[in-house]
Structure 1
Amino acid sequence: MKRQNYILSILLILFISPLIFVSCNKNLDINQDPNNPTDVPENLILSALLSNFSYEVNGGYPTRVSVLWTKHLAGGIAGNHEGNYLITGGDVNNFWTSFSYSDVMNNAYVLKNKATTNGNPNYSAIAKIVLAWNLSMTTDVFGDIPYSEAFKGTEGIYKPKYDSQEDVYKSIQALLDEAISEAASTTNVLKPAADDLLYQGDMTKWAALAHTLKARFYLRLSNAPGLTASAQAKLALDELAKGSITMATQPKFKYFATTGAENPWFQYAIDGKWAVTTRPSQYYVNKLLASNDPRIAFQATKVVAATNVDPANVGKYIGLTNEAPGNNILNYSAIAPFYSAKDAPLYWMVYPEVEFIKAEAEFLVANKTVNATVTAAYEKAVRASMDFYGIAATDANTYLANNALSSNANTAYGQIMNEKYIANFLMFEAYNDFRRTGLPALPINNEMYPGQTELDQPPRINQIPVRFPYPSGERLYNSDNVPADIPTDPVKAIVIPVWWDSK
């Protein structure tokens, strides 16, 4: 997977900047390796940074595992795997070491420092947004993580201390505040342009994204110790009032129908680079079918006729469970092309989430009561989710008529979060929302495989995991700093909530 992303980064840099490598210095220093430059300009760092963050993190391991745990997808393979909660310290090493810290956060840190030194605050702004976002995803699955000492190898710090998750979130918000200020700066020696593979140098869009992330993160801490849900919700609403992404500006990363540059979901679940057995779950498909939800056509495919496909399945949506299927995998729905075509964009965040943040926040500000403002926000959020797919307004009206917001507070909260869960299909955020609120109520993935008994399987947990185990590499090389309250045994570790998960 890392090789594919490396190819993608290089292809994109060459595509955007075809003249970068044309000229050479006539007085070539034969002692300098041209394939291992010691100083890379901001524009080249930025393109690779965005590419790596998209492929390795937003479309990478944390998202692929979390959507199994939230039952958006299932892994139809025999034996134990992430889908039925088998995850080890070795499994998470690549995400922690190679992708999250090295490819993304370290390079974001380098970019922000270089941009500051060179007088390019717009580049620093983008670097800080990416750094803050990646920090959030890392701390959300691990809890306490290194940050304040994480990128100080040049200062001789090779075993960085772990910062508390509470402090990491304070740093995340500070980074985003700084980014918003720097995005507004016009005093740049060099400004992002085509090398900005997300917004092509439009800093107003980056600032709006930063405000949106701040709102998301305020709401993330709605049940954190020492904080109140209504106060966090008010902060989220205030932040969105300053600016947010729109349907036209929601962050989506472009991919191409060429080898090595395809959409991550295509590579992961469709063409077989890893497997073709990761598909919409039976729970999720049946859930949408039960409510006649028109979004299913954009999230899953109908089974098509093929060799070894039961004719009775053709033309139907059929979901998968986390076990070896009883018949050919083609008897089950795949992820729809909207998300998984070769050249489908990868959505880092979808606009409907903004409206669902508002709906939940209004509900919390009203002390978990339903009023006209909450109802209107809920309906607007559901319509935004329908609009996201281009679903006709008449179909949206019918759906809302059948799923009107209840006047009962508990039922209404479940409806808001259930609709947000559907709107955030294949999004990492659905996992955070589930842990934060317990909504929607999801069944655990504890299917027993045909012919197996409990004695055939390793220890199982009777709940959806609420964190990743710490990497085995950290326990080997930075053991003194790994939090002592998180067991080495992953079965015991993954049931311990992170700091903000105290519902």
Structure 2
Amino acid sequence: MKALFRVLLAAALTSTATGCENFLDINKNPNTATSVTPDALLANALVTTAAIYTGGISAGSNYNTYASFAAGYWGKSGTVSGFSQERTYTYSTTYYQALWNNTYDNLNDYNLIQQQGATTYPNHAAIARIMKVYDFLLLVDEYGDIPYTSALKGLGNTTPTYDKAADIYKDLVVQLKGAVADINAAPASAPVVGNEDVVFGGGATGMLRWKRFANSLRLRILLRESSTNDAALNSYVATEMAALQTAADGFIDRDVAVQPTYTANTNQQNPFYDRYGFAAGATRAQSEYSYILPTNYIIRQYESNSDNRITQLYRVGQINIPGTTTAKAGYAGTDLGEAVPPQFDPTDGATVGSRFLQGGTFLRSATAPTILMLLSEHLFSKSEAEARNLITNGDAKQDYLDGIKASFVTTYRDGNTVPTTLAASASAPGTTQYAAYLTANAANGLVDWDAATTTVPEGTAASTAPLTTPRAVSKTDKILYQKYLAENTIASVEAWDDFRRTGQPKFKPALTANPIPKRLFYPQTEVSTNQANIPAGVNQNTRIFWDVVD
């Protein structure tokens, strides 16, 4: 298996990593390494994870780029051909196959850190153990059964067998618990994690935050497992949730972000900005900037609910006035599956689509941090668990409101600042807009926790005219709806997973006869090198074990 026997060391291996040039240079030849210690590997492994996750690196190799199309956030603009698999939902074994290869390469880095540091660098090893869970979870959620117990063996096993996805999920929880125990058991004489921790900054405070991150990952995993009809699995989830809610260190209290001190230099910029914004020193946007438009569905959710977050996400475009050759200012998107946005009259050169706002949330700056987990995601997950009585010692309403607030703070946050807590953000940009959002949506069940209905046409016709008959909105409906808005483009893969788990929200399906896929095909690289071990009969409509709703 090609990706699994590569033992790639993710750069800067010739000396201990100190400073952003080493942290960001992920292209050095690993064969030149003369010594390798976990502290020299950690920062670059984390930076690589951020690039794989967020939509940087290159086409066909990033989780959020793939999921932004699949989850209904992005559509194809009229300025480029291609994107046929995104538009028609007809996947192939080469579609996003680099996700598999890149993630396993990154897992090899963390595995090496864990092995090398088990006795001499226990804190570094514990961080690597947590990040292995993060990576394996990404793989399972997009592919189902994968090589796990026999993976990462190098040349010792180039054709590993596949483990059941449900079994891997349970072991991921074991690994997270073990990582927290490893941190607690690390002797005082153990090497201190320093600035190579480009997520939490190292030191005792950093290690506490790593334990909290591990607990929040446990919640993500358990919630994903929680909606099946498997009695034994439901009993397991209940037991694990009860243990989790009393975890000594609690959960994350800020966005989890990678910040190696990105700089506006070649190969050192924020990876999403570098791909969809501006190359270092460039004055014109990258070509891929013009390839993407928001969907009309996601635009409609902001506009229909008086949600000013849209002003931070997309530039104002121009929309054709029906029956005329003129246009008016407005947010202009596309529909999933359309080859050319239908509202764009090719005879009207004034019509402009609403691409990412330069300097806005998605393209904040070349030096902005990269998110690995949103605080808003965690708070909405916790609220859902509480609303469903999976967690019994929390406040579902408060966590829901804090989730919305956290999203506003993230949306309006200043350029390259590392995320902070909600308490410290009491007067931060976004808090005023959050309060206005709640006020504007009193009695709207998509926003107001206490309202049971809404007249907003979410998931129905393109019109924003209110529904004549209010429709019911449950607590979990509104939680998942707000979570979907918070994860737009920043954490699209989590929204995509939630959609498959719950069927929420009801974004407009692609304009195609093909059903929305359930997963990715196993990549062609795996078909070519490990065919005998690939599970039989798997295609893009094969469900992950937790996908049971539709």
Q: Quick check: TM above 0.5?
A: yes
- Residue 361 (structure 2) aligns with: 338
1-structure distance, mates of 2:239, 2:478: 21
Query: d(CA) in 1 for partners of 2:379 and 2:391?
Result: 19
Q: CA 1:128–1:274 in structure 2 vs 1: closer, same or farther (change >3 Å)?
A: same
Q: Is the 8 A contact 2:75 2:334 kept in 1?
A: yes
Per the alignment, in what secondary structure is the counterpart of residue 40 of structure 1? Answer: coil
Q: What CA distance in whole angstroms lies between the structure 1 residues aligned with 2:297 and 2:235?
A: 32
Instruction: Report if aligned partners of 1:294, 1:395 keep a CA contact under 8 Å in 2.
Output: no
AA aligned to 1:338 is T
Closer/same/farther in 2, CA of residues 183 and 329 from structure 1, 3 Å limit? farther
Q: Which amino acid aligns with 1:358?
A: K
1:443 aligns with 2:443: no
Unaligned runs of 5+ in 2: 1-7, 24-28, 57-61, 278-284, 320-324, 413-428, 454-471
Is 1:232 aligned to residue 237 of structure 2? yes
One-letter amino acid of the counterpart of residue 52, structure 1:
T
Match of 1:480 in 2: 532
CA distance in 2, matches of 1:412, 1:34: 51
Task: Tell me: CA distance 1:407–1:228, structure 2 relative to 1, closer, same or farther (3 Å).
Answer: farther
Q: How far did residue 164 of structure 1 move?
A: 0.4
Q: Which runs of 5+ in 1 are unaligned?
A: 1-5, 20-32, 448-459, 487-492
Matched residue type, 2:500: R
Task: Return the offset for 1:230.
Answer: 8.6
Inter-CA distance 100–38: structure 2 relative to 1 (3 Å threshold): farther
Contact 2:258 2:370 in 1 (8 A): yes
Residues 444, 464 of structure 1: 8 Å contact kept: yes
Alignment partner of 1:379 is 2:401: yes
State the Cα deviation string for residues 74-116 of structure 1 (Å, max 9, x = none).
222434132432432112332212x1111x1011111100001
Q: Could you tell me how far apart the structure 2 residues matched to 1:275 and 1:267 are?
A: 10
Equivalent of residue 498 in structure 2, options 398, 411, 433: 433
Report the counterpart of residue 269 of structure 1 in structure 2.
276
Matches of 2:511 and 2:47, distance apart in 1? 36
- Matched with 1:285 is 299
* RMSD of aligned residue pairs (Cα, Å): 3.3
Q: Secondary structure at the match of 2:531?
A: coil
In the TM superposition, what is the alpha-carbon distance from 1:275 to its structure 2 partner? 5.0
Contact 1:54 1:253 in 2 (8 A): no
Does the Cα contact within 8 Å between 1:73 and 1:278 map onto a contact in 2? yes
Letter in 2 for 1:433: D
Q: Aligned AA for 2:137?
A: S
Match of 2:418 in 1: none
AA partner of residue 275 (structure 2): Y
Specify the code of the residue in structure 2 equivalent to 1:180. Answer: V
- TM-superposed CA distance for 1:228, in Å, is 6.1
Describe the superposition over 1:172-208 as per-residue Cα deviations: whole angstroms up to 9, x where unpaired: 1122112112223244542221111111211111111
Amino acid at match of 2:93: G
Match of 1:57, as an amino acid? Y
Task: State how far apart, in whole Å, the 1-side matches of 2:355 and 2:409 are.
Answer: 22
Letter in 1 for 2:312: F
Give the equivalent residue in structure 1 for 2:448: 404
Q: Could you tell me how far apart the structure 2 residues matched to 1:285 and 1:13 are?
A: 43
1:194-248 C-alpha deviation (Å, 9 max, x unpaired): 111111211111111111111111101012434566973774475355311113x
Matched, 1:52 2:52: no
Verify the 8 A CA contact 2:94 2:523 in the aligned structure 1. Answer: yes
Corresponding residue SS for 1:397: helix
Structure 1 residues 233 and 438 mapped into 2: Cα distance closer, same or farther (>3 Å)? farther
Structure 2 Cα separation of the partners of residues 367 and 47 of structure 1: 34
Quick one: structure 1 residues 147 and 329, their matched pair in 2 at CA, closer, same or farther if it must change by over 3 Å? farther
- Give aligned pairs, total: 453
Aligned partner of 1:213 in structure 2 is: 217
**Contact 2:219/2:382 (<8 A) preserved:** no
Choose which of 520, 523, 538 in structure 2 pairs with 1:471.
523
Higher helix share: 1
One-letter code aligned to 1:500: W
CA distance in 2, matches of 1:379, 1:34: 47
- Taking only the aligned residue pairs, the percentage that are identical comes to 25
> Which residue identity lines up with residue 111 of structure 2 in the other structure?
Y
2:544 alignment partner in structure 1:
498
Q: Separation in 2 of the partners of 1:128 and 1:58?
A: 21
Residue 354 of structure 1: CA displacement?
A: 2.0
Once the 2 structures are TM-superposed, how far is the Cα of residue 437 of structure 1 from its aligned partner?
0.5
| Equivalent residue runs for 1:175-186 within 5 Å | 175-184=175-184, 185-186=186-187
Give, in whole Å, the separation in 2 of the partners of 1:18 and 1:142.
33
1:400 CA displacement = 4.6
1:399 shift after superposition:
4.1
1:425 to partner: Cα distance: 1.6
Distance in 2 (alpha carbons) for counterparts of 1:10 and 1:387: 35
Cα distance in 2, alignment partners of residues 238 and 226 from structure 1:
19
Please say if residues 333 and 354 of structure 2, whose CA atoms lie closer than 8 Å, have aligned partners that are also in contact. Answer: yes
Which deviates further from its counterpart, 9-18 or 419-428? 9-18
Structure 1 window deviating more from structure 2 (278-287 vs 425-434): it is 278-287
Distance in structure 2 (CA, Å) of the matches to 1:350 and 1:230? 28
1:395 matched residue in structure 2:
436
Residue of structure 1 in register with 2:282 after alignment: none
Instruction: Give the partner amino acid of 2:488.
Output: F
1:78 aligns with 2:81: yes
Partner secondary structure for residue 251 of structure 1: strand
Asked if 1:349 is matched to 2:373, the reply is: yes
Given candidates 341, 345, 359, the residue that maps to 2:383 is: 359
